[in-house]
Structures are given as C-alpha cells and as structure tokens.
Amino acid sequence: MINKVEICGVNTAKLPVLKNAEMKQLFIRLQSGEYDARERLVNGNLRLVLSVIQRFNNRGECVDDLFQVGCIGLIKAIDNFDLSQNVKFSTYAVPMIIGEIRRYLRDNNPIRVSRSLRDVAYKALQVRDTLINRFNREPTVSEIAKELEIEREEVVFALDAIQEPVSLFEPIYHDGGEPIFVMDQIRDNKELDGTWIEGIAISEALTRLNDREKKILTLRFFEGKTQMEVADEIGISQAQVSRLEKVALGHLKKYVRED
C-alpha cells in the first residue's frame, strides 16, 4: 500500500494541497451555495484520506476500496464542517474518515452479525461519544444502556459482536527479542492430565532438560498456565519465560528425535 502511486485512477503523487486560507475561502463559497467549491475541497484533501488508510494497511483489504470508503467519510466531513467552531478541518475530518472505514470493515467482517445487533452496537458507540463529551470521562456500560433505555447485557453483547476476530498469532509484546503472541496468554484447562503426550517419548526427553526448563514446560503444558502465571511463579519476566520456553521446546524436539 505504501508504495502504491495510483489508487482508483488517482495519481497520489500529484495530489494537490490546499493552504488554510484557500480552504477557508472554499468553505465560505460552498456554504454560500457555490457547489463547485465542494469538488475542489474534496480533491484538495485526498492526501488526508491517503494518510488515514495507511493505518489499515495490515488488514489485507483492497487499497482502492478503502480509499473510496475514506472519500465518503471526507465528503461527509466537508458537508458538515462548521467554520464557526474554529477547529482545523483535518482535526474534524480524520475521525469521520476513520469511522467510515471502520463501519465498512465491520459490515464486511467474515463473521456475520445481524443488522439489528450492529444497529444497537453503533447506537451504543454514538451514545458513548456523547457521554464522553458530557462527563469528560469514559462512560460505563450501565450509563450507555440507561441512555439507550435497554438492558446492560444487550449493550455488552452487541459491542462484543462487532469486535474483529484476533489471530492467536497476533503479537502483543516485543522487547527486541522473541515476540509474545496472544496464544501465549491463553490458559488451557482441558489438558491438565497431559494425556496428549501419550505414545511418544516425551517423558524420557523431559528428564534430559535442566530443572528450569522442566519447570516451565510442566507449568505451561501439563498445568495449562499462561506465560504470565509462570513468570509470577518462577520470579522472572514474561519475556524471559517466552525465550526459555522456546529453547526448552527446541531441546525437547531434539531429544525426541534422538530417542
């Protein structure tokens, strides 16, 4: 995406840039009914759309589609911008462009969510923004539910339904060494008896590991604990647990092959 020059037939390397004074005059003209100013405002702010869609470049979405959706958000921002508020247009437009793209991504989520549930979720998000402005803080789910006059559980269920799925291999921490993934944070309560290793030479291979390696693998794979829980029990950092676990598994594989 970053190196793509032409998007939807638009040469992004040659997009015009409007100065603040030009923007103000065009908005005055637009609000006076001169609608040719609208087209100039759109063309003069396409770089803004381009900068926003860079945030979504790791989702595997078609760049052209995101650009078109972002342009819809830009047009909505232009049509609703109020010069009297003394706010930079980019400050006003960026959240609207992002919101339009996020709605598009939610509606095209491979996990299908009913329209009624999505409507509840979007209303809850709108109410959340309203309450943030009213209270100058993040509202509780109960406050959102009260404003919508629905049950708290209904709000929770709707908001959970529109959350995007996360890969188990999504990195959540990186200290310059081995990354820690979502799967490293998940506790397994179903394999506490270790029956999954029956029939292979794991038991013999485990005896050839040092005490710390055996401790980490036992806690992680026999007792189903997360890396954070293992770190707390042993007294080291989670990053250290992650590194030691990978080393121990490497040794284990080597010893199993030898056996």
Q: The whole model's pTM is what? A: 0.44
Residue 9: pLDDT band (50, 70, 90) is low
CATH of domain 1-108: 1.20.120.1810
Residue 197: pLDDT band (50, 70, 90) is very low
Sign of the CA dihedral running 211, 215, 216, 218: positive
Instruction: Please indicate whether the domains covering 110-165 and 171-258 agree at the CATH topology level.
Output: yes
pLDDT above 60 (res 58): yes
CATH 1.10.10.10 assigned to domain 110-165? The reply is: yes
CB-CB contact of 147 with 112 (8 Å): no
Domain limits, the chain? 1-108, 110-165, 171-258
Q: Give percent of the chain with pLDDT exceeding 90.
A: 6
pLDDT given at position 174: 57
CB-CB contact of 121 with 158 (8 Å): yes
pLDDT given at position 196: 42
Residue 112: pLDDT band (50, 70, 90) is low
Most confident of 43-47, 191-195, 203-207: 43-47
Mean of the pLDDT values across residues 90-96?
87
E strand intervals along the chain: 6-7, 10-11, 171-173, 180-181
Q: Which residues contact 142 (CB under 8 A, 6 or more apart)?
A: 152
Indicate the CATH number of 171-258 among 3.40.120.10, 3.20.20.70, 1.10.10.10, 3.40.50.620: 1.10.10.10
* CA gap 234, 225 in Å, rounded: 12
* CA gap 197, 180 in Å, rounded: 24
Q: Give percent of the chain with pLDDT exceeding 70.
A: 74
* CA gap 10, 49 in Å, rounded: 12
Q: Which residues contact 114 (CB under 8 A, 6 or more apart)?
A: none
pLDDT above 60 (res 2): no
Mean pLDDT is lowest, of 23-32, 47-56, 185-194, for: 185-194
Tens digit of each residue's pLDDT (9 = 90 or more) over 212-231: 888 888 888 778 888 888 88
pLDDT above 60 (res 113): yes
